[in-house]
Structure 1
Amino acid sequence: MAGHSKWANIKHRKGAQDAIRGKIFAKFSKEIMVAAARGGGDIETNPALRMVVSKARAKSMPKANIEKAIAKATGASKEGADFKEVIYSGTLAGGVTFLVICLTDNMNRVVSNIQSLFKKAGGQVGKQGSIPYVFDQKGILEIEKNNIDEEELMMFALENGADDFKSENEFYEIYCEPSNFLNLKNALDQQYNFEYKTAEVTYIPNQEIALDEEKTKKLLEHIEKFEDDEDVQEVFHNMDLSILSDVEEE
């Protein structure tokens, strides 16, 4: 779950897909349990749960897995109730910034592990809980183009809370403020009944750092090490990955 990043697509092409999907679904399960334990298991009355379920469905998490996670959190054991969200950021080689979102039930463990991971990556941890200025929090909905009329979709999205609309290769990307995300998605669902490639509130870099191919790949390897940590939910970065696309096309 490397955030909204082309690197996620690169990994899915090159990695063992079942293992990657299993790891992603396990992280979604934890996030779902936390939301359900805190606000109840009804997605209609729990906006936080509705948001994470929406994100999980967009990544094809099976309905049975989602229901199982909700059941765990709302049962007698209340799994997920003790987890706390912790945010770390740090600067690495070439001025690249990492933003690391954690869910943990052991603060000593997560502090030690994150500090170690940043050190091994040649970076330094910033102030806990702060969001670096190079990231904006945005809602994003990615929709496969198919036969959708672009102008009609753009106008409908803008009228229902979107603040930006982009046409990329095979997808339309719709952006909004986090507070507008659920209302915008509900409006799109009622009008079009889309299946989304991405449907989430996430962090998007407002400026990117271009490194050479070797350094880019090295930092992406470090991202995978962060993601392998049991407490890490998502990792965001502001690397320009176009150099990898160029390499693949050659």
Structure 2
Amino acid sequence: MAGHNKWSKVKHIKAKEDAKKGKIFTKAVKDIMTAVRDGGPNPETNAALRLAIERAKAVSMPQDNIKRAIDKASGNLPGVKYEEITYEGYGPGGVAIMVECLTDNKNRTVAEVRHAFNKMGGSLGTSGSVAWMFDKKGVISVERSDKDDEIMEAALEAGASDILEFDEVLVIETEPADFNNVLQAIEKTGAKILESSVGLVANNETDVSDETAEKVEKLIDMLEENDDVQNVYHNMK
């Protein structure tokens, strides 16, 4: 029995590690697909895609998976037609949530998204119900270092619209049209870029209790576990 118990424990640990690796791969795939949709499938001219591919390789994602993600986002998979669709809704505490999806079956996706909202105490809204609370911006997160001044100067010269300074991270915002130029300028400084994407940024934040925040986070987690969901944005403070 001792051997059996040991093997059970090993299997349990392996299952947890496989699940963790699966989530890392899922995020890497979504980052690649978002970059392709924003800037095209060529990493030589799409800095965000180039960085997303580098991050995917850093977590040992197979080349076939990377290629499949690029093909899916650019519509090059034979026999499959993908459609971009965004769902809007409210989470617990009235938190506004935007869900960007890429799907080959809109009926399946909307049913699964609605189920997540309902299960977690939210509600799916109509088109335009919360979109007005968000602006589309490029967002680049950079690890702080002794190059901060150089990074900020390069970003501003390339067209950055705002730079937010936090303890460990610089968050650089751009207009969508300036995103690639700013990202390339930051890349040339040798900065460690943690995240980079064009997405939705809330212009009107909602303050909620810790208990409500936990419920909202569970809803976001459930939505992000859906393979059709590319990005989830919210206005929770």
* TM-score with structure 2 setting the length: 0.76
Mapping of residues 81-92 of structure 1, within 5 Å? 82-92=81-91
- Structure 2: gaps spanning 5 or more residues: 1-15
Mapping of residues 1-250 of structure 1, within 5 Å? 19-29=19-29, 32=32, 42-44=42-44, 47=46, 50-55=47-52, 57=54, 60-62=55-57, 65=61, 67-72=63-68, 78-79=76-77, 82-128=81-127, 132-150=131-149, 152-190=150-188, 192-240=189-237
Matched position secondary structure for 1:65: coil
Decide which structure has the larger Cα Rg and report it.
2
1:166: how far off?
A: 1.7
Matched position secondary structure for 1:62: helix
1:51: how far off?
A: 3.2
1:78: how far off?
A: 4.3
Number of aligned residues = 216
Q: Are the equivalent residues in 1 in contact too, given 2:155–2:182 (CA < 8 A)?
A: yes
Paired-residue identity, %: 34
1:82: how far off?
A: 2.0
Matched position secondary structure for 1:165: strand
| Cα distance change, pair 36–89 in 1 and its aligned pair in 2 (3 A) | closer
Query: RMSD of the TM alignment (CA)?
Result: 3.2
Aligned residue in 2 for 1:9? none
- Structure 1: gaps spanning 5 or more residues: 1-15, 241-250
Q: Are the equivalent residues in 2 in contact too, given 1:40–1:74 (CA < 8 A)?
A: no
Higher relative contact order (CA 8 A, sep 6+): 1
| Cα distance change, pair 210–170 in 1 and its aligned pair in 2 (3 A) | same
